[in-house]
Every structure is written in C-alpha cells, then in structure tokens.
Chain A
C-alpha cells in the first residue's frame, strides 16, 4: 500500500514522506503507522483513499493512506 505522511510527523531520518509497503493482510491504520515508527498519532487525522477515517479503520494493500495534522482551528 501507499502511505503519504505529512512532514510534521517525520522526526526520524528513516521515515520518508512517501512510503510504499506490502501489506500481507488487512490491518488497522494505527497499527500500520505504529509499526512504521510514526509518532504522535494523537495529533493526526487519517484518510484512506481521500476519505477521512478513524484510526482503527481496517486498511487493505491497495489503499492509499494519508496522514495529516488534526484540524485545530484558530
């Protein structure tokens, strides 16, 4: 699956903005990202194929997952 992560969640040089991984079986969005080492997910919103989803939504290998900052306002 393809994953796009806003650079504000990237502290680690090992992480890149655009990632492609092989998902052997459907998995929760939050689990996928934690396994990749993405931190501070409490400040993120998640989008699967451009649709806003909850962090425990199940993602499949052909999905596009986007991680953007939560909408704070102000």
Chain B
C-alpha cells in the first residue's frame, strides 16, 4: 500500500479517445515527489526542440504532489505543465484551490493529456470513471457560465473544475487555466495549450479518499497550526489584507512597479492597498482546501457604474499592482472589474497588465498612435482603455491581437527602442516586484526555467537582518542575513538555498505561505507532517536535494529544447535608475549581477554556460 499518493496516473489521448491508468512507481515518486518533478518526468521523453507547443505531440500535464490533499493547511497546489508557447521551454504554472486534493481523492496523482481532440470536449472524472464529454455547446463561453452549465448538466454542484475561457480557445499566448473560477494557474500559457487541444474543462469528483500513514499525527499538527498560525504577523496579515498586505511597505520601500517599472512609488498606493480593499469592496475572506490562513479575497460591486460578481473571488497583490500602479490606475473598483474579466476570459493578469502598461508607455512616447490603437487614447491612468483592451486581448481583436502575443513580440512590431522597456524574460512578462530593491528577485527572474517568475525563492527583503525569519531557515543551511541590494557569493548562496526549498515545496504540492520562512509552520514540524502522511523518513537534507533535482532537471530539459543561458537577460530598464520613490536614482549593476550568476552556477554544479556538469547530473540521478 502507498501512503500520501495512489501511484496512479490517468492518461487520456484526445486524438484517439483512449483512456487508461498507468502505474507511477514508488521510486519515481520518492525521487520527484510530484509537481514540477513529475512534469519533468513525463515531458522529458515526449517533446524536443522542434515540438510545436500547439501540436498533438505536446502533452498537457495536471500534477499533484505528495502533500496535496493532506488535511492540513497549504496542501492545495495543482501544478500544470507543458512545453510553454511563451518560452518554448519547460513550462509550469501552479495554483491553490481545491482541484488537486479532489483529483487525489478520486484516486489519481495526475493526468497526462495527449493528442488533440477534433472537436471541443471536456473531461469528466468521477473516481475511476472517466468520460470525454462533448463541449461544443460550451465553446465561446466564459468560465463563469461554463462552470454553471457543467455542474448543472452533471447534476453535481460539488464538481471541481479546471477551465479555459475565450482567451484559451483563441490561443492568446498568456491564456491561463482557472480553477473553480478563483484560482489561476496563470503563467506560461497553460490555457493556450489547453485551448489548442480543444479541451474546455476538466471536471473532477473524488470520493475514494487518500491513504495516510499516521492520521492522528496529521490531525495533531493541523490543529496546532490552526491555533498558532496567526501568532505570526505575516500569516495574520495574509488573513486580514490578503496578499496585498505588503503593498504599502513595497510602495514606501520604492519597489512598487509603477507606470511600466519607470517608477517605484505610486501616488495612489493607499487607494489600492490591502487595507483599502478590506474597507471597501471586500465581502468575504476565503481559504483553499483545509487552510485556515484564508488569504483569498472575495469582492462584490453592485452600483450604477460597475458590477463585479463575487463568484470570481477578488484581486490578489499581483493583479492589483499589474492592473493598478503599473498602468497608473488607482481605483479598486476598476481593478476588481479587470480581475473579474481576466478570470472569466481566462487571462493571466500579470502578463495582461504588463502588456497594456507597455502599450501605454509606447503611446506616451509616440511609438504608436491612435491610428494603431483603433482610436484608444492609451495614456497611463486611462481606466476605460484598460477594460476595453482586456476584452480585445481575449478575443485577439484588432490592436488586442498584437498585445495578445506579449510584450516581446509586441516590441518587435512597435520597433524603435521599445525593447528596452518590454518587461519580460524568455518572453514571459515580469511580475510585480522590482529587482532594483531586491537583487534575489532579479536572480529568480533571470534563472527561472519558466521565464520571469517571482516565486522561485523567498524574497531577500525578509532575510536582511537577524531575527525570527532567518532563524526559521537555519536548519536549511542559511545562517547569515543577506543585503537585499547586495551581490556576489553571499547573494548566490542565499538564492540557491531558498530556491531549493521553494522548489521542493512546488514538487510536493505545497503552498509557500504555510511552512517557514514565508509561513508560520516551523520546518521540522512541516517535515513531520509530510512523513506522517507518507510514512517516509524525509530529512531537511533530502528536501533540499529533491528541490535541487527539480531545478536541475528543468534546466537540463530547457537546454535540450534550446532555452539556454542566452535567454536569461533582464530587461534593460532594470539597469536604469528608478524615477521616484525611496530608491529614486537606483539601478542594478549588470556586471555585478552577471558575476553573481556565475557564482550561483558554480554552487549548483553547473558550468560557465549554466549547464549542469556530468558529476552534478549523476549526483542527482538525472
């Protein structure tokens, strides 16, 4: 008997209609533990440099991890993987919610979707009963309406759904997969690949349950955490103000992305803060599966000017900043509407906001005019333009079709010097954290296998001094504070250590907000939780090795796909000074940054070109 996982993968071939169960050997699960590890395992022999991400040769993977579904906080993560249409390389995107635990309760550790359906379909999974259902009547509809219809026609309101909206159908490059309308696997174009397969949704109902080795211990740890989690202010802040709890501090620190990263402070920051959201549009706080943190927002607006449906939840920090300060917009009602539209159409709100913000700067610089924008006055702060363009992007309508390709391709179309402020790495738009004030985040943007990404490692701003946060990770080997704006060996060591830990969390299907250092569960207690579920004897050292394996595996595959260190360049803007705020005049030092990356390569056992050495590959059994 297996504990914490079933050892079964569902394989569905949409070209042939074949549905089968495949065994997942125990040694593979112990080696990769789930998440991006299993994505690598199932992708590595399926794709190559020439594979078209939208072809039937590119599988779409829905993976859980050994933590997913443990009845304890933070165990909700679904990791979707494929060859990314954005980067052309190893692609993953993760979210919380309920569908990953539901899939495991249905008896599956993951789904491998192969081929392309000849017509729109959706998958209906009820335990081991799996059906391919016609979705012709759902094609062209938004996520909200489709969610209602699928539940109604299957007479089950408790179904959990992963879906694409019109953006995925239209293969908008940064279309996302939305889970239960509120939780986005936002990045890397997962929705576009799902759309290319004519797969409108995956609906899951699980009743079989999951075997755990020591249920009493799990209950004990879970109760302890529920009682104590709010003792830690960051955890309490997530409950009170959501992920936007830090927005005011980010603004005062001069690193709130504003007007396409020209500025680091926004004059209307208070108007879009987590505190203001709680005072105005918030109607409810929600959590993911079994999680007492409840960092999710639910907003509702119903007035003469605006209606926002609470069934889509509410905007998180990334959406608030990308649709707000980045576009010069300081109105939470507009931002909430933009959030609702992105979730209904199935758009990644980060890439959408960055693309619109980029176009606003191009417009203000005179690189494009009303003739290009179909009459839209595209100045920063134009709220109507923001909402108008979100719809145009989802439908690839007119000017929206250019922005639907992301800022890298848009800058090639707009020309002149627009590439200097096209904010992306590997074609993926930059999230809402300015690395000029936290170099470690710049490391993550550059080194992430999936392009610019902000969840590669705990941000260095929180590890700048001695104190409880640093104390919490000493067990992982990080014992010295890191200067957020420092470079060199010390920065490389901080980054590689924290990256391995967060990589491990991704692989087991765990939310970063629960275990230390970002969350309040001590690492030893957290590892006890994993061992109680699996019956394993995992140590912190093994966790770090698993995390390292995930990082190195993704890198190995990327190099085989042609995505190498030449794709790691940060946008030129980060090497130019911020225009305002606490860090006015501050820029990154490119030479020091590149030297720091070389130090990191050495620590990871990679060569000067960033490719893992043979010794490293053997050490990690890759």
Report which A residues bind B (CB closer than 8 A): 6-9, 40, 42-45, 47, 50-52, 54-55, 66, 68-74
Contact = CB atoms under 8 A, between A and B. Distances in A.
Interface in B214-259: 232-234, 236-237, 240-241, 243, 245-246, 248-250, 252-255
A42 B469 contact: yes
B459 interface: yes
Interface stretch (B298-306, B363-371, B460-468): B460-468
B246 A72 contact: yes
A8 B240 contact: yes
Nearest to A45: B249
A10 B433 CA distance: 27
Contacts of A73: 433, 438, 441, 454-455, 458-459, 461-462, 518
Nearest to A72: B462
Nearest to B431: A73
A69 B232 contact: no
A72 B458 contact: yes
Contacts of A68: 246, 248-249, 252
B246 A69 contact: yes
Given A42-B468, A45-B249, A51-B582, 4 more contacts: A7-B275, A70-B234, A74-B458, A74-B512
A60 to B, nearest CB: 19
B559 interface: no
A74 B253 contact: no
Contacts, number: 93
Nearest to B581: A50
A50 B438 CA distance: 19
Given A40-B233, A42-B467, A44-B233, A70 B441 contact: no
Nearest to B239: A8
Decide if the interface of chain A is mainly helix, strand, loop or mixed: mixed
Contacts of A47: 249, 252
A21 to B, nearest CB: 21
A45 B469 contact: no
Interface string B443-461: 0000000000011001101
B253 to A, nearest CB: 5
Given A42-B467, A45-B253, A50-B252, A69 B233 contact: yes
Contacts of A51: 582
A12 B168 CA distance: 49
B513 interface: yes
A51 B28 CA distance: 51
A8 B236 CA distance: 6
A69 B237 contact: yes
Nearest to A69: B237
Contact of A71 (B461, B465, B467, B582): B461
Nearest to A7: B240
Nearest to B467: A42
Given A40-B232, A43-B469, A51-B582, A71 B237 contact: no
Nearest to B583: A52
Given A43-B234, A43-B468, A51-B582, A70 B240 contact: no
A50 B161 CA distance: 45
B441 A8 contact: no
10 contacts: A8-B240, A8-B245, A45-B461, A47-B249, A50-B252, A68-B249, A72-B517, A74-B243, A74-B454, A74-B459
Nearest to A44: B233
Contacts of B275: 7
B513 A43 contact: no
Given A8-B245, A43-B469, A51-B582, A71 B240 contact: no
Nearest to B472: A42
A72 B252 contact: no
A72 B234 contact: yes
Contacts of B518: 72-74
B194 to A, nearest CB: 25
B64 to A, nearest CB: 20
A65 to B, nearest CB: 12
A8 B467 CA distance: 18
Contacts of A72: 234, 246, 458-459, 461-462, 469, 517-518
Contacts of B461: 45, 70-73
Nearest to B245: A69
A31 to B, nearest CB: 16
Contacts of B252: 45, 47, 50, 52, 66, 68
B455 A74 contact: yes
A50 B237 CA distance: 21
Nearest to B454: A73
Contacts of B458: 72-74
Q: Which 9 A-B pairs have the closest CB atoms?
A: A73-B459, A42-B467, A68-B249, A71-B461, A8-B237, A42-B468, A43-B233, A74-B512, A72-B462
A71 B454 CA distance: 13
Nearest to B248: A68
Contacts of B250: 71
B454 A9 contact: no
Given A8-B236, A8-B240, A43-B234, A71 B468 contact: no
A42 B502 CA distance: 22
